[in-house]
Amino acid sequence: MKRFIRIFLIALPLGYMLFIWILSSKPSDAVVRFGSQSDDLIREALHLIEFGILYFLILIALHASGKPGLPAQSLAITISIFYSIMDEIHQSFIPYRTASLLDLLKDFIGIFLAYHLCKHYSKKIKISCLGDLLKKLGLF
């Protein structure tokens, strides 16, 4: 069972990246539509959330593959940033979508907010990193 969980946690960010890619292939109003002024605000906030989630998933996958600590955090940030750049480039080729430096900035902010949240949380509960938490939960 632990092996299955480990493989699942390693594959999870790849599935999430595919999900982001598919969403980026659709017109922006096909993803979120509330029909109000909050529609734009929610769509803009999704950049922060979706790439923050990607950072967490990549970090968890790196810990599950046995690469914890600072190198894992740096690698998770690097992969997340690289993928956000790829996502914006991808959107530039999609009809009714555009690449935007502002969107890229929001992606970066989401990644760094997730990093700082993880860093703060790990200090608060007195564990060195996410890998230690997974070990305490008995997953590894």
Residues 27-63: pLDDT tens digits?
766 655 556 666 667 777 887 899 999 999 999 898 8
Rounded-to-integer distance, Cα 51 and Cα 29, Å: 19
pLDDT of residue 58: 94
| 102-to-50, 66, 83, 105, 108 alpha-carbon distances in Å | 15, 35, 16, 5, 10
Distance (Å, whole) CA 3 – CA 34 = 41
Q: Where are the alpha helices (DSSP H) in the chain?
A: 2-24, 38-64, 70-92, 101-124, 130-136
Per-domain residue ranges of the chain? 2-23+47-136
Reported pTM = 0.82
Structural contact between residues 100 and 88, judged by C-beta atoms closer than 8 angstroms: yes
Per-residue pLDDT of the chain (140 residues; tens, 9 = 90+): 678 888 898 999 999 999 999 988 887 666 555 566 666 677 778 878 999 999 999 998 988 887 766 688 899 999 999 999 999 999 999 888 888 899 999 999 999 999 998 887 766 555 555 666 666 666 65
pLDDT at 28: 66
Report d(CA 6, CA 64) in Å as an integer: 6
